[in-house]
Amino acid sequence: MSGCRYIGLMSGTSLDGVDAALVDFSTDLPILLATHYLPFPQTLRQALLALHVPGHDELHRTQLVANQLAELYAHSVQALQTQFPGDIAAIGCHGQTIRHNPQQGYTLQIGNAALLAELTGLTVIHDFRSRDIAAGGQGAPLVPAFHDALLRHPTQHRVIVNIGGISNLTDLAPGQTTAGFDCGPGNLLLDAWCQQHLQQPFDRDGAWAAQGQVLPTHLQAMLAEPFFRQTPPKSSGRDLFNIVWLQGFLSGDERPQDVQRTLLELTVHGIADAINAYCTGAQAVYLCGGGTHNHLLRQRLQQHLPSCVVAPIQTLGLDGDNLEAMAFAWLAWQFQRGVAANLPAVTGARAGRILGACYPG
């Protein structure tokens, strides 16, 4: 049914590119029809990084970058339509987060949804986080609601961990309310350090980190960051975890590979400590997002969680690289059905809210 086909667009904290997914919601379980990945040009990535800190003429620069993003999003949509022709009900576009400050009542995702609607001729649903924040929530993470709808099991206690730029988890304990929150840095610091020292976008399989040794004093100092001690609901992003934050722990004498190894362990601790503290009795931990491909990271998670099976979500027959894009297609579907799509137990909002704003096609 073409009226149940939605496109989800996701460009996350990793700033690597656009994940696009075409999803059919006409059956009990969503069907992933087509996917497309469009990497960011390096100039756009640098412009987005610069917008994460206050700077000269940033309002003007933000709008120009938002237009560039809309054009990339439109190219992604067109690529999906070429792969799988047919009517599309709407696009769910997350946009690119450049500020996330729920403590002061706002979050900002850019991408010029009006231009995207013009370029594609399709209805665009965007700005999914603001209504939850207006209702007293964190505005994040939003994906646990989709995990709950798609991955809950009647008897197995599952934890779904998305390792993007920031890592977050969804706790699906049978017979209990779904919980979820951000755990801390995922790939964000690992990628930034790798780019700075190897001029590579990421540390493939954790091979460079494997050449280093954990710096225990540095690791403990990083883990003393108050965010890790906060009780959920909580969310984070580049506003906190960034290269400036990292440099505050370094003397400059460290071997770069040792810092990389320590950052990997920081990501592992953030996830494993959260599961041990808040997901008592978890039996299986399923991983999605870019960090799933880091072999050393997966290995260390399994060692920190010996009582759980730790496995990529692909073992459940799902595409872990496009699960978030699917989630934003689902959020657009929920919006058009008039269904609340946040989980107050996850975000801390006062109640369920219909999430998003609409530019009709």
Q: What is the pLDDT of residues 203-239, one digit of tens each?
A: 999 999 999 999 999 999 999 999 999 999 999 999 9
Last residue of a domain, one of 299, 316, 333: 316
Q: What is the pLDDT of residues 282-302, one digit of tens each?
A: 999 999 999 999 999 999 999
Q: How many CB atoms lie within 10 A of CB 141?
A: 27
Q: Is the pLDDT of residue 1 over 50?
A: no
| Rounded Cα distance, 285 and 169, in Å | 9
Hey, how many other C-beta atoms are within 10 angstroms of the C-beta on 65? 21
- Predicted confidence at residue 341, as pLDDT, reads 97
Decide which of 285, 300, 316 is a domain's last residue. Answer: 316
Q: Name residues whose C-beta falls within 8 Å of residue 305's C-beta, 6 or more positions apart in sequence.
A: 272, 275, 276, 282, 285
Task: Tally the domains of the chain.
Answer: 2
Quick one: which H or E segment has residue 357? strand 357-359
Are 12 and 91 within one domain? yes
Same structural domain, 193 and 74 = no
Model pLDDT, residue 2? 54
Burial (CB < 10 A; 0-12, 13-18, 19+), residue 12, is: buried
State whether 127 and 47 are in the same domain. yes
Q: Taking CA 75 as the corner, what is the angle to CA 74 and CA 78, rounded to the nearest 5 degrees?
A: 85
Q: Are residues 338 and 300 in the same domain?
A: no
Q: Name the residue with tokens 């840095």.
A: 185
Is the domain of 230 the same as that of 350?
no
**Tens-place pLDDT, residues 95-116:** 999 999 999 999 999 999 999 9
Are both 27 and 113 inside the same structural domain? yes
C-beta of residue 185 within 8 angstroms of C-beta of residue 163: no
Listed in sequence order, the DSSP H helices in 135-225 are 143-151, 188-198, 207-210, 216-223
Q: Name which of 327, 326, 314, 321 is nearest 33 in CA terms.
A: 326
- Which domain does 67 fall in, by range? 2-139+322-359
Q: In this structure, what CATH number is given to the domain that contains residue 278?
A: 3.30.420.40
**How many whole angstroms separate alpha carbon 279 and alpha carbon 227?**
18
CA-CA distance, 95 to 93, in Å (whole number)? 6
Comparison of pLDDT for 296 and 13, the residue scoring more: 296
Torsion, Cα 139 142 144 146, to 10 degrees, reads 150
Residue 299 shares a structural domain with residue 340: no
User: At 9, phi and psi to the nearest 5?
Assistant: -120, 125
Query: Do residues 172 and 282 share a domain?
Result: yes
The model's pLDDT over 134-167, given as tens digits with 9 standing for 90+, comes to: 999 999 999 999 999 999 999 999 999 999 999 9
192 and 273 within one domain:
yes
Question: How does pLDDT run across 16-64, given as a tens digit for each residue?
Answer: 999 999 999 999 999 999 999 999 999 999 999 999 888 899 999 999 9
Of 134, 244, 124, 225, nearest to 182 (Cα)?
A: 225
* Angle between helices 42-51 and 58-83 in degrees, nearest 10: 140
Name the 3-class secondary structure at 97.
strand
Chain-centre distance for alpha carbon 256: 26
Q: What is the pLDDT of residue 3?
A: 81
Tokens found for residue 57: 């003429």
Query: pLDDT digit string (tens) for 15-25?
Result: 899 999 999 99
Identify whether residues 165 and 310 lie together within a single domain: yes
Q: Tell me the angle at which helices 295-304 and 256-278 cross, rounded to the nearest 10 degrees.
A: 40
Residues 92 and 168 placed together within one structural domain of the fold: no
Angle at the Cα of 147 (from 143 to 148), degrees rounded to 5? 115
Same domain, 42 and 151: no
Give the integer Cα–Cα distance in Å for 284 and 23: 26
